[in-house]
Structure 1
Amino acid sequence: MRRRILAGVLAGLMMLTMAGCSGGADGTAESGKASDEDAAAEKTEIQVFIAASLNTVMTELADLYNEDHPEVKIIYNADSSGTLLTQIREGYECDIFFSAAQKQMDDLEADGLMVEGTRADVVNNQVVVVTLKDSGTKVTGLEDLDKAESIALAGGSVPVGKYTRQALMNLGILPDTAEPDGITTEEVSEALGGVEISEQDNVSKVLTAVAEGSCEVGTTYYSDTYGYEDDLDILQTVSYDLTGDVIYPVARVVNEEADEAQTAAAEDFLEFILSDEAKTVFESYYFDTDV
């Protein structure tokens, strides 16, 4: 009788132990799942403002960076450098500003919005005159832009628009001025004999206007023609003698809302942008890294 009771007690203990183990396994699985969800929820976000012409290459760089840093979520805001600067001044949260021109970075620094000691020149670019492949245009470059039926041109506050105006000024087509970015689209049209000009907000929109056939020619960056080799013809690669260097500087932006993790992530991603690995990627997208 005692044996039967003892056997029953032992059997009960074994069942409790097994239930406990089973419950532990389920708990571990649930705990692991919760940990994964917590890790995903706890990703550190950084806000990176980039010139529109950097959109494609920076998307690849973010993917590369996340291979080693999956805990960081990079949020891009891509637009003209002038628009991005205005947004930063208006209080938009930003950790890194990657401009297509020195002017906007100079202004950021003058406003006290740049983290001291973080500014660096990253790449150089070139302005090109493009047209839809087999368009039959009579235009060969900037010197005979007046032969175009229509032109896609970025506004003067957009770096590529400023560089185009600078080149036209150096060619004697536009009058000399200390601030070529102040030359209006109407003034450019008048200097070209009244040709129709479609003003665009950023360089990507210039490219789209030409690639879709809305405008006969346009001025964009050489790097923007990446992926459009079968769609566009480059009529002219404008020399630096006419535009000056087209340097892209980067810097961290003062962000009082950032916590320690966000600041550290921004510092690390900026370091990655300046790395040799990133240089190779920039070069594959037609940027010049010899700056």
Structure 2
Amino acid sequence: MQNEESIIMKKKTVSILLMAAMALSLAACGFSNSTDSSSKSSSKAESTSASSASSEAESASRAESTADGEVFDDTTVTVFAAKSLNSVMETLISEYNRTQPNVKLVGSYDSSGTLMTQIEEGASCDVFFSAAAKQMDQLEEENLLVEGTRHNIVNNQVCVVTYEGNNTEVTGLEDLNKASSIALADGSVPVGKYTREALVNAGILEKADDVSAITTQQVSEALSGVEINECANVGAVTSAVAEGSNEVGTVYYSDTYGLEDRLKVLQVVPYDLTGNVIYPAAQVVNKEANETEQAAAEDFVEFLTSDEAAAIFRNYYFDTEVE
């Protein structure tokens, strides 16, 4: 009897020990699975965090690229520029296209007054580069300029010129009456307006509230009836003198660039007589332009204020010391 009880007790003990061993084994497996799961979750979280950080870095890099040195998609920007800017603008456009090859800049050149009128009448234009503040002021008053984009770019000087080889007696404004003929832009053209301003300040013409309203006939009478060829823009004045059609004329100093062998400068008229000859530029309100065209137009105006552009302007005899 005691032997049977002893055997039964041993079996119970073995069963209890087996159950305990199984419980410990299951607990160990649970701990291992929990550890593996935790490790996997941690690894996954780290991977997600790293991926997110990488994505944010790439986004920041793209944003930086867009804000600084963005290359525009294909677009066309129309620039209305004063006739005296014709040569330098082509060089400026080439320089700009080195970093913005997809922006096609199309220049239209004429007197600032003519270009202003075209803009007022609805001509498609993205940038206006005037040879005087007057025309830009008028467009600004009419809300035809994009606010905050206007900049004074360069200064220029009026010159009295003759054709090379001519033995004229004229030395400058003071003795223009000695000329047999003069090429002179009309008063609506900036160079014509500045010439009249200088003649008024030199005491040759009578004072006027608006010097641009002084007629060519009045100028002729003040110069002892000298023959005057009234020109529509400064380019026409330059050509008339360079070709010898007129003895002398008044142009900008920058207009003599490239014509040194054909034009002789008799006088560089001081700013004291003409006042500053400021050339402002601004983006024009163009409702037909898409976002890319508008952005490229603004960018080109900003380029005109850069050191790279200033160096080019100086090469073409413009004065880059402006306020």
Q: Which residue of 1 aligns with 2:55?
A: none
Query: Structure 2: how far apart are the matches of 1:117 and 1:73?
Result: 23
Q: Which residue of 2 aligns with 1:44?
A: 75
Query: Structure 2: how far apart are the matches of 1:151 and 1:112?
Result: 38
User: Shift of residue 274 of structure 1?
Assistant: 1.0
User: Shift of residue 43 of structure 1?
Assistant: 3.1
Stretches of structure 2 lacking an aligned partner (at least 5 in a row): 1-72
Query: Structure 2: how far apart are the matches of 1:53 and 1:43?
Result: 29
Q: Which residue of 2 aligns with 1:57?
A: 88
Confirm whether residue 194 of structure 1 aligns to residue 225 of structure 2.
yes
Aligned match for 2:209, one of 178, 192, 204: 178
Aligned match for 1:120, one of 123, 144, 151: 151
Equivalent AA in structure 2 for residue 55 of structure 1 = N
Confirm whether residue 110 of structure 1 aligns to residue 141 of structure 2.
yes
Larger radius of gyration: 2
* CA deviation profile, 1:55-107 (whole Å, cap 9, x unmatched): 10010010111122111110111000000000000000111100000100100
Say which SS state the counterpart of residue 260 (structure 2) adopts. Answer: coil
Query: Structure 1: how far apart are the matches of 2:136 and 2:202?
Result: 27
Q: Which residue of 2 aligns with 1:148?
A: 179
Equivalent AA in structure 1 for residue 159 of structure 2 = V
User: Shift of residue 264 of structure 1?
Assistant: 1.2
Query: Structure 1: how far apart are the matches of 2:296 and 2:220?
Result: 46
Q: Which residue of 1 aligns with 2:309?
A: 278
Confirm whether residue 88 of structure 1 aligns to residue 132 of structure 2.
no
CA RMSD after TM alignment: 0.8
Query: Structure 1: how far apart are the matches of 2:315 and 2:164?
Result: 22
User: Shift of residue 176 of structure 1?
Assistant: 0.6
Query: Structure 1: how far apart are the matches of 2:215 and 2:95?
Result: 40
Q: Which residue of 1 aligns with 2:36?
A: none
TM norm structure 1: 0.85
The number of residue pairs the alignment matches comes to 250
TM norm structure 2: 0.77
Aligned match for 2:163, one of 115, 132, 138: 132
Query: Structure 1: how far apart are the matches of 2:125 and 2:215?
Result: 30
User: Shift of residue 172 of structure 1?
Assistant: 1.1
Stretches of structure 1 lacking an aligned partner (at least 5 in a row): 1-41
* CA deviation profile, 1:230-271 (whole Å, cap 9, x unmatched): 111100000001000000001111000000110111111111
